[in-house]
Structure 1
């Protein structure tokens, strides 16, 4: 008997079916326009773009332009690439334009799909960003799809790391910009550290299409993007602590594999404390539980984690004496990315590499909050339905499953479970060998570099030729994948998420043509293409007859999506295919999250060596384990976002204020308001409201006014006058300070004064924000302990961070007013002496923002024509805040960090 839910679905269809049906009339409209657009000349196609853009910019709704715009793109793509979009691709494009995630299976042509909504939205003239998972794909797609945009009369740009500023600005100025999620996030942070508008690259956040959206918005959203600058060097401490770790036994700590956390036991604490005393790292009268030991305990815990949790060739690799992280989801190296809180330094000490100093956060943002800046967001992937709840809750994105162009013909086996890993791998080698003999290509998926190399050795021993794709072969990625569908090919790949190159049965025509023309540049391209197309077509039929691509997975990932991505590599565009998962009870997921009952059941069944159990029930129990892990990871991301949301409001306020300052021609009103507020605060502090005159601290007010505002006025005498109240004092101080600053503006000249005010404002904001971020990091690390006192850590964080933010703004007003009061014009000779110092300071800042830029354009100090009054090279209290790399003000000729700034 059918259940109610099944009957309802049969009668009304699923919500997804209804969404698909709703766009069919639009698809029919686009198809009706096809004959009209086929008659257009190449020039008329570009003219149509101009006409559509005019209508869009005159206020016509983009939805009304959709049929014509999509018909124009389809025709341009047909001419530029020889590809005519299927109806299902048009559907995907419509869903993307509506601000959804289009789930489209591998091989359905997502790269082409993105051109439709990108073109339509680019007509508004505000720029469209297409986001990819790596630089290779960004450059490849920009070049490939750029032909379509060019045929339509639009410009295409690509953004990549270490790109010169001028090129980057041009790329962001293009109609369509391809970039990675990391580079977009970092450019947003860099832009908000710039000194002027003309240096900024991005021009707003209108519409973004995120390719491999699950990988970017979910997998990578657990860690925020951080721009940081170096702090003090403590490499010796890491080395000393690292020597201690091998002495720690298993009784001294507990390891939680689920959370990847380590904690010392009481015995462990006693042992560590004793050894630290012996090594002289901690005073005899100090214990690990004293507040002074917090930093030491933190470093020892990180060192233990580096040894017991982080594994070489799985979590990181060592290349050129440098620890490079490996992305757990894509298997790629993440050059330039570092673990925070001293963990990266602990791993460097463990591996005997050069230890880079820890960093201080200068700016940070989470992917969630970056992508929520866009007015409209869309995404595409082969696997999103399992995370539909998270996409909806965090980003407000719906997920629509787009039907495949042809029915899927792949056979998916139930998981086969072996008792031991050895039996599992032997079975994998045997199966791969059988497939190779009959000409069926095999793609073997592994979860780590270590396992892929171990399996490679086993295949070598069995004399089975094969290719290996992991972080070590990163550069040959596209070539290896292009060959993976050839007759009898065996390919081992670590994490196939978002590889971006389709595995085509018989081989990839484009890649083979390119390769052939590189080897024989004099050959006729048409002749080469015709020959290779015939060869590949013939081989494709043989591969189909052998059963298509066999995907053989060696382990279940903790995320179902990654498994589905691997499985989806087979059976593209209606091709035959096969997929199997070979597992063992020793696999991480089975061991950590699987049930002990399974082991007992297998023992009871009396399974022989090399035998496996395969049953739908096993699949169900594994999916439950994976769902548990996914749920836990969602909670981690949600918690990260809740805390970052608190900071995000403050970030928007600060970045918005910076933008206002940079856009303004004059900022004297802002500095004047700040100065007046400082006067109000000082009078409130030293002459509290509703108090008598004999309770006022006029002496303190006089000193504070001299220090903060630079004016010497008879505050004490004013206060002794009959009938003078706090309002009168505020009025007189305001008038005196305004006159003082007006005289200063005359002395500097209007243009110089504007520049000085703007630079002082921006630099003081940046300095205060940097210090505030550090304070918030420390607050975030300790606020969790409030839970033990039955207080909600998040509410505590909100309250305290708001108080800290208010304190920061008060300090900002005081600092700006004080710096402006202390500057004075200087002679040409003094300017020359300061210039070298200013350039070095600016270079230090630019190296953090743009590692490839070594040229100073804007000084970090207020101005080359301004210096603090009362400067005395023999009195460090008069030096202000010299840069770490600038010359020491004492005149020794050494850098500040090696002289008076030595820590």
Structure 2
């Protein structure tokens, strides 16, 4: 900051201070109302809710009600929880109400702040959603803050994993609904796979507050939620290819000018997270595949072997890019993804494009079948569905540009209620891991001797367990908190402030639970006194525990508060700030220091060789460290570069995903219209007319001579589509007949046949069949369309080599694919309805819900990658058929069990699932 900028800031205040200034006048207004509501009885205070609702109906706005509503919530919180909102928390509530992000330090009471805008916006009756990062926090906050809402006459629901549709519908019908980002997103996708409006569970997207908004809207922005269904089992292929990867020769040296013989069989780029075969590697891999009998003809990159390229690439990634206990763990014979930002296990999520299967083969566990995408949405696009979006976190300012650019969210820093006393020391940089770990252990020992609690943040499970082993060797008592022990997460974190306690945690494990100096008395009371039934005994023991905690807190404060030790810098400054923020809550003392080595990932990737050479020349002795503010600045610059690159990746992905999102909105809106309609016969009639017009135009071009007509081809297509024998060849020989006349005759006969079928099946059943066929065909085509777009996105990057913008190419081709989808929809729906045979005994039931298997996967959207293998290859036409009964195309009873993706036995030329299988 220049001296002139500093002068202006002193004169006018910072931009953040100017944003906050307008809220302080309202805070005074709220405080002035306090005596009025304090004098009310509980019934009178709760009676304010219906009064507020009536005033809203009378024309007042939420802004008009804000001071009184906030004052009512503050008084209700005091009566139910014994907690009164601070003035800065009122400011935070206003920031959220206006659709911004409130950055509040750890321990400033974000959970309580959320009650203010949640109550105010719930008065509108459209439902308010509160999103948390895990089920534990969703349930905790729903029960805890729900006391305020229920006291004021509001209903509260909670969406957790494993609920039935009825339970979910009831939770969404409540005034306020808590849940995780995954559950809200999955419910949206599932709703748009339902077949009737009354089976949908969500009722709209009015207002949402996202807790830990940086984690959900930044860290997980590249992780789409995907509903997928199983496809062909390729277990043995993954296992076979996996056995070949260890035979590849690793590179001796990396770089542009390295001779080919030293590059080995593959090149590893840790910055870009990519691994590719070299020319020598391709030759070696072809040799290995042929020896194993997996490649019979041609080269690896011949078109018939494209699926083999996919398997090789994924196996190579699994072995060379993904590390056990860092990117994933093996638990209960399953590969479970580890969130790179929080260190938590991501149960139920699977890497896509066959990568998860490659990891399962690598680890020797059961390989689950691949899945094909049925519906997907990114968190970026899901949360932009809401009319008003707000968020709260302790760390958002470093990503303020991204929040504004992508979500139009302004980040406003809320001042702390009490000044922060934590001391943040300069980083210490060592030359090796061992020297760094020795320094960390020395500091832990010093803290433990004087009774100061320590929280050690690591970046992976592997590193947390390595440090744990070192502490065990020194006989230093400690707790380990990582994905392996997430069940005890809240308990370990809650007691991490007890004097002399040492806690090792992966990154931000335990986020959302405050570390209280001296420990958490309430949690101790729950855990230790749960079996006591005598009220007097319970009260006495509880008082003893509270006294012990208070005494221990004084001891910890005297020792300097919670000491945060970072074992290395993360790619993002925000994650480092989150770790630091665990100490110094509500004016408590504390300290933080990061220890680094030149062998750390961030240091190694960003030129540690040059730094090592400089340190050697400077005469840095083993065990010595560099400590200087300039080192901190240099590291921050490296982190800023990584953050900027990750932002660009997310932005680019969003540009591509926006194309799919626009099409998704059209399809989902169309589904709702169809589901809401009692009768879609008018749309079907339009489809028939359009299909006839397209068929006639294809075979009888406008203004073409009669001898140029393909009358025979048109006659055959009319037979295939409408199941009608029309004498089109004879019509074409009539004197002076024109293409318009042929079209009118075909359409007239088609409409006549459609009317006959409607009478034969009864109009009621025909209307039902039309609606069912239309919905199911739309779903089938949309699923295929998603796969096509995924493959297009992977291939379109190659267009850049031809000086063409891949994004523009993607937009153009995606639009053509979408037009093709609509054209196929009309053709397939008409064909099925003209061929369908409906049983008059009992009408088929419309499925009430979509597939139950849900996986949130992590596709890797690097352009130019290989497409997935064809999911439809190897399908047989008819199975389980009685060999004594010949297949009759006109008699479905003779077809046996037909594979969904096989050609339909009726001879239409379409897949069974798009033809007679649509209603089976």
Contact 2:337/2:347 (CA < 8 Å) preserved in 1?
A: yes
The aligned counterpart of 2:146 is: 146
The aligned counterpart of 1:776 is: 789
The aligned counterpart of 2:882 is: none
The aligned counterpart of 2:638 is: 625
What SS does structure 1 have at the residue aligned with 2:568?
coil
Q: Which whole-Å CA distance do the structure 2 matches of 1:60 and 1:882 have between them?
A: 63
Q: Which moved more, 1:121-130 or 1:40-49?
A: 40-49
Shift of 1:53: 1.7
Q: Which whole-Å CA distance do the structure 1 matches of 2:900 and 2:287 have between them?
A: 39
Cα distance change, pair 79–189 in 1 and its aligned pair in 2 (3 A): same
Contact 1:57/1:125 (CA < 8 Å) preserved in 2?
A: no
The aligned counterpart of 1:710 is: 723
Question: Relative contact order: is structure 1 or structure 2 higher (C-alpha 8 Å, sep ≥ 6)?
Answer: 2
The aligned counterpart of 2:798 is: 785
Per-residue CA shift, 1:592-623, capped at 9, x if unaligned?
A: 12454432332233222222111000000000
The aligned counterpart of 1:216 is: 216
Q: Which whole-Å CA distance do the structure 2 matches of 1:227 and 1:760 have between them?
A: 22
Cα distance change, pair 5–71 in 1 and its aligned pair in 2 (3 A): same
Instruction: Pick one of 676, 679, 692 that aligns with 1:666.
Output: 679
Q: Which whole-Å CA distance do the structure 2 matches of 1:649 and 1:121 have between them?
A: 28
Contact 2:199/2:849 (CA < 8 Å) preserved in 1?
A: no
Q: Which whole-Å CA distance do the structure 2 matches of 1:289 and 1:595 have between them?
A: 37
Matched, 1:318 2:323: no
Per-residue CA shift, 1:644-694, capped at 9, x if unaligned?
A: 111111111111110110111111111111111111111211221122333
Cα distance change, pair 883–140 in 1 and its aligned pair in 2 (3 A): farther
Cα distance change, pair 873–339 in 1 and its aligned pair in 2 (3 A): farther
The aligned counterpart of 1:562 is: 575
The aligned counterpart of 2:654 is: 641
Q: Which whole-Å CA distance do the structure 2 matches of 1:875 and 1:741 have between them?
A: 24
The aligned counterpart of 1:656 is: 669
TM-score relative to the length of structure 1: 0.92
Q: Which whole-Å CA distance do the structure 1 matches of 2:519 and 2:237 have between them?
A: 54
The aligned counterpart of 1:175 is: 175
Matched, 1:381 2:393: yes
- Equivalence map 1:309-348=2 (5 Å): 309-348=321-360
Shift of 1:54: 2.3
Instruction: Pick one of 454, 462, 476 that aligns with 1:442.
Output: 454
The aligned counterpart of 1:259 is: 272
Matched, 1:796 2:809: yes
Shift of 1:87: 0.6
Per-residue CA shift, 1:414-447, capped at 9, x if unaligned?
A: 0011111101111111111111111101001111
Q: Which whole-Å CA distance do the structure 1 matches of 2:889 and 2:368 have between them?
A: 29
What SS does structure 1 have at the residue aligned with 2:243?
helix
Q: Which moved more, 1:739-748 or 1:805-814?
A: 739-748
Q: Which whole-Å CA distance do the structure 1 matches of 2:219 and 2:324 have between them?
A: 21
Q: Which whole-Å CA distance do the structure 1 matches of 2:244 and 2:854 have between them?
A: 37
Q: Which whole-Å CA distance do the structure 1 matches of 2:177 and 2:898 have between them?
A: 37
Per-residue CA shift, 1:842-890, capped at 9, x if unaligned?
A: 6995333699xxxxxxxxxxxxxxxxxxxx9715798699775999999
Instruction: Pick one of 555, 565, 571 that aligns with 2:584.
Output: 571
Contact 2:158/2:178 (CA < 8 Å) preserved in 1?
A: yes
Contact 2:194/2:848 (CA < 8 Å) preserved in 1?
A: no
What SS does structure 2 have at the residue aligned with 1:262?
strand
Contact 2:561/2:591 (CA < 8 Å) preserved in 1?
A: yes
Q: Which whole-Å CA distance do the structure 2 matches of 1:593 and 1:74 have between them?
A: 50
Matched, 1:238 2:238: yes
What SS does structure 2 have at the residue aligned with 1:812?
helix
- Equivalence map 1:470-869=2 (5 Å): 470-496=482-508, 499-524=511-536, 525-722=538-735, 724-828=737-841, 846-848=851-853
Matched, 1:65 2:65: yes
The aligned counterpart of 1:102 is: 102
Shift of 1:354: 0.6
Cα distance change, pair 700–886 in 1 and its aligned pair in 2 (3 A): closer
Contact 1:215/1:497 (CA < 8 Å) preserved in 2?
A: no
Cα distance change, pair 600–57 in 1 and its aligned pair in 2 (3 A): farther
Q: Which whole-Å CA distance do the structure 2 matches of 1:189 and 1:339 have between them?
A: 19
Contact 1:757/1:820 (CA < 8 Å) preserved in 2?
A: yes
The aligned counterpart of 2:369 is: 357
Q: Which whole-Å CA distance do the structure 2 matches of 1:274 and 1:309 have between them?
A: 23
Instruction: Pick one of 401, 404, 407 that aligns with 1:392.
Output: 404
Q: Which whole-Å CA distance do the structure 2 matches of 1:881 and 1:672 have between them?
A: 33
Q: Which whole-Å CA distance do the structure 1 matches of 2:467 and 2:629 have between them?
A: 27
TM-score relative to the length of structure 2: 0.91
Shift of 1:531: 3.0
Contact 2:718/2:725 (CA < 8 Å) preserved in 1?
A: yes
Q: Which whole-Å CA distance do the structure 2 matches of 1:597 and 1:849 have between them?
A: 48
The aligned counterpart of 2:87 is: 87
Q: Which whole-Å CA distance do the structure 2 matches of 1:486 and 1:80 have between them?
A: 28
Q: Which whole-Å CA distance do the structure 2 matches of 1:212 and 1:470 have between them?
A: 19
What SS does structure 2 have at the residue aligned with 1:229?
strand
Q: Which whole-Å CA distance do the structure 2 matches of 1:533 and 1:328 have between them?
A: 37
Per-residue CA shift, 1:783-807, capped at 9, x if unaligned?
A: 1111111111111111111111111
Cα distance change, pair 651–262 in 1 and its aligned pair in 2 (3 A): same
What SS does structure 1 have at the residue aligned with 2:819?
helix
The aligned counterpart of 2:19 is: 19
The aligned counterpart of 1:157 is: 157
What SS does structure 2 have at the residue aligned with 1:227?
strand
Contact 1:162/1:850 (CA < 8 Å) preserved in 2?
A: no
Shift of 1:709: 2.3
Cα distance change, pair 39–712 in 1 and its aligned pair in 2 (3 A): farther
What SS does structure 2 have at the residue aligned with 1:551?
strand
Q: Which moved more, 1:680-689 or 1:256-265?
A: 680-689
What SS does structure 2 have at the residue aligned with 1:409?
coil
Q: Which whole-Å CA distance do the structure 1 matches of 2:103 and 2:295 have between them?
A: 57
Shift of 1:719: 4.4
Contact 2:194/2:850 (CA < 8 Å) preserved in 1?
A: no
What SS does structure 2 have at the residue aligned with 1:179?
strand
What SS does structure 2 have at the residue aligned with 1:334?
coil
Q: Which whole-Å CA distance do the structure 2 matches of 1:528 and 1:125 have between them?
A: 45
Q: Which whole-Å CA distance do the structure 2 matches of 1:341 and 1:668 have between them?
A: 40
Q: Which whole-Å CA distance do the structure 1 matches of 2:398 and 2:377 have between them?
A: 26
Shift of 1:207: 0.7
Unaligned 5+ residue runs, structure 2?
Answer: 251-263, 857-884, 906-911
The aligned counterpart of 2:256 is: none
Cα distance change, pair 845–119 in 1 and its aligned pair in 2 (3 A): closer
Q: Which whole-Å CA distance do the structure 1 matches of 2:782 and 2:901 have between them?
A: 22
Shift of 1:732: 3.3
The aligned counterpart of 2:866 is: none
Matched, 1:289 2:301: yes
Q: Which moved more, 1:842-851 or 1:26-35?
A: 842-851
Shift of 1:827: 4.8
Q: Which whole-Å CA distance do the structure 1 matches of 2:278 and 2:903 have between them?
A: 47
RMSD over equivalenced CA pairs, Å: 2.4
Q: Which whole-Å CA distance do the structure 1 matches of 2:284 and 2:57 have between them?
A: 72
The aligned counterpart of 1:193 is: 193
Shift of 1:700: 2.2
Contact 2:482/2:509 (CA < 8 Å) preserved in 1?
A: no
Cα distance change, pair 257–850 in 1 and its aligned pair in 2 (3 A): closer
What SS does structure 2 have at the residue aligned with 1:393?
helix
Cα distance change, pair 526–884 in 1 and its aligned pair in 2 (3 A): farther
